[in-house]
Structure 1
């Protein structure tokens, strides 16, 4: 990955905002700018911050636990240990660098941390400027290297599903199947699950974000599996729906409607179109079939270093798609008391259409 080009672009943004430096705390953004892979496990800033100045200095502020990893991964960054705490370090470092205005990621900074930053700013006569989405905007369009990483993550995700699907006995519970999928991801080299795997069977499949329970896979009823993994930092996200046993006419009808909706949205994807028009291409199929009230979520979202990124592919979005964006297409129909069906693939936006990264799609056409 060309971190120098990314840092140059970031510095151009800092200059445009008349900022001397930025503190980067979001793990995905730290990795994007430096190659540093540590995660925070839900607690902001515990594993380190990047301090990047407009004039060219780059620091990684962390503690003893992450020193070796930081020095190995964040080449070109000076690793500084917070032996007396982050704010004690910033109190001496910022004036030495001549910093008079400092941006920070307000959407990923704890309120208590922001309060301390503003207090530090008052003490040092430094303007603390909340920023929202500065690095995320840089991440919207993926490079060739990033797309290849995502492609590999998608293919590995498919391999995990295929192996597990072929071995189904019908005696598994939802939670047992979810655990097996997660274990198989790790056995095949994934860093981790991209999110908690969803396995929903029978009536519970009408819940778009169902939590796997102890229900045995319902026979002759819908099963929804939403799964994703992280490989080389990049995420995959895929949903497969099937009927374990014999599919009745109602299942076949609804599955085919969802599949037509998915294909319509995929056909609508190309550089320059609005995200809303892609959503509406799928939504119209479902509405016209009489199931509009049973499809209540957006048709997709961006995927990259995070499993949910911009752009959001929703009916209200006027944002234009650009070549190199990677998005999901995932329409669904959810009927309380019966179940649900969702089909999700990942595509790369191209100038004249899109590339479906999911190659195992033939089984969807039933």
Structure 2
């Protein structure tokens, strides 16, 4: 196999960390097709254009680092991933495979990302391997790279903070300009424009702007409904900077908050504060979720908190760990997660408040720089 000596320090460290799960699963290499995993290990940035069209893949092992892509991305491959052997399949994957078949002689069990590979591509790859007479067994894997990505290094946390600063600045500007009669859809478009104007390279996900009864849907899509006085409005959006995402939720009430909003909002805010103060390494994800859920349960709204407490954020908006009561896993230092309790009441609306924290050994560190929360107590 061809050893690479020009990998960056981060790439070397990440590939070294990958060796342990590869060994644990009895694998001599891994086919990486998931876009964020590709970028994390190699620096190769292009996203997949659509579900059935890939920008490329990696094949990595102990002394192997190959980046495969088609001629559309050759310039990016050579510029962004100089530590990887470029495999440009200009004659199609089948017609070009012989270029790297010699480099794969030491690979006998090649893992593939079962959540990031279409069945069509899997069948195609099996046919190519059989035709090349290579003794490579394709083996499904799950979350090998994602498990490493869950713990952020200082450079990643810096990028997330930059992304979050853009998102917070956009929210402050947006909130100051809210007026009755503006539609959810128009506000969402304005958010996207402001993210670019404030230095974001992209939106992390499509913004949620949900007013009145629409706010009872945790993932409502913006509509042409005009926002009005006397009702809650949930905002949920994020920017992307240097490839890293942020995620922020706030709830605004146009006009003077009424008693119901004060009760629901106050309860959600207390749940968020308890979780932010209590979450730390060593707790499992169920215990973290319980910190906030117990407050809402005791307030009588437990069945209206119908999602998990939060999730990891990094190159993807939703990544490991999931702060869910289902399938608990331990929290580790360096994980960046959201704390976003919510209450959703049909025919009225909802309240969700979301901050981001870095998990620490004894306590966690809040990444948000501003806190425009109502003081309702």
TM-score bracket for this pair, using the shorter chain length = over 0.9
> Once structures 1 and 2 are overlaid, which stretch shifts more, 72-81 or 194-203?
72-81
Alignment of 1:250-269 (within 5 A): 250-269=260-279
Asked if 2 retains the 8 angstrom alpha-carbon contact of 1:25 and 1:45, the reply is: no
In structure 2, the partner of 1:173 is 183
Whether contact under 8 Å (1:268, 1:277) holds in the other structure is: no
Change in CA separation of 1:322 and 1:10 when aligned onto 2, cut-off 3 Å = same
How much has 1:321 moved relative to structure 2?
0.8
CA contact under 8 A between 1:63 and 1:83: conserved in structure 2?
yes
Residue 182 (structure 1) aligned to one of 164, 167, 192? 192
- 1:331 aligns with 341
Aligned with residue 114 of structure 1, among 106, 122, 138? 122
Q: Which runs of 5+ in 2 are unaligned?
A: 1-8
The partner residue of 1:103 within 92, 108, 111 is: 111
| Aligned equivalent of 1:88 | 95
TM alignment of 1:216-235, pairs within 5 A: 216-235=226-245
TM-score by length of 1: 0.95
Does the alignment pair 1:300 with 2:310?
Answer: yes
Does the 8 A contact of 1:333 with 1:341 survive in 2? yes
In structure 1, C-alpha distance between the alignment counterparts of 2:89 and 2:129, rounded to whole Å: 19
What CA distance in whole angstroms lies between the structure 1 residues aligned with 2:248 and 2:160? 12
CA RMSD of aligned residues (A): 1.6
Contact 2:183 2:223 in 1 (8 A): yes
Alpha-carbon contact 1:241-1:342 (below 8 Å) kept: yes
Q: Deviations over 1:45-90 (max 9, x none)?
A: 6211112232x23221111211111111112112221112124333
CA deviations 1:87-113 (Å, max 9, x no partner) are 433355234530332211111100111
Q: For structure 1, list consecutive stretches of 5 or more residues without a partner in the other structure.
A: none
Map of 1:353-364 to 2, 5 A cutoff? 353-364=363-374
Residue in 1 that maps onto 2:85: 78
The 5 A counterparts of 1:187-202 are 187-202=197-212
3-state SS of 1:363 partner: coil
Q: Any conservation in 2 of the 1:332–1:340 contact (CA below 8 Å)?
A: yes
Secondary structure of 1:37's aligned partner = coil
Whether the 8 Å CA contact 1:91–1:120 is kept in 2: the answer is no
Name the residue aligned to 1:340. 350
Mapped contact 1:26–1:44 kept (Cα < 8 A): no
- Secondary structure at the residue paired with 1:200? strand
1:184 Cα deviation (Å)? Answer: 0.7
Q: Judging changes above 3 Å, is the alpha-carbon distance between structure 1 residues 90 and 76 closer, same or farther for their aligned structure 2 residues? A: same
Residue by residue over 1:284-334, the C-alpha shift from the partner in whole angstroms, topping out at 9 and shown as x without a partner, is 111111111111111111111111111111123421111100111111110
Q: C-alpha distance in 2, partners of 1:96/1:329?
A: 45
- The question of whether the paired residues in 2 share the 8 Å contact of 1:276 and 1:313 is answered with yes
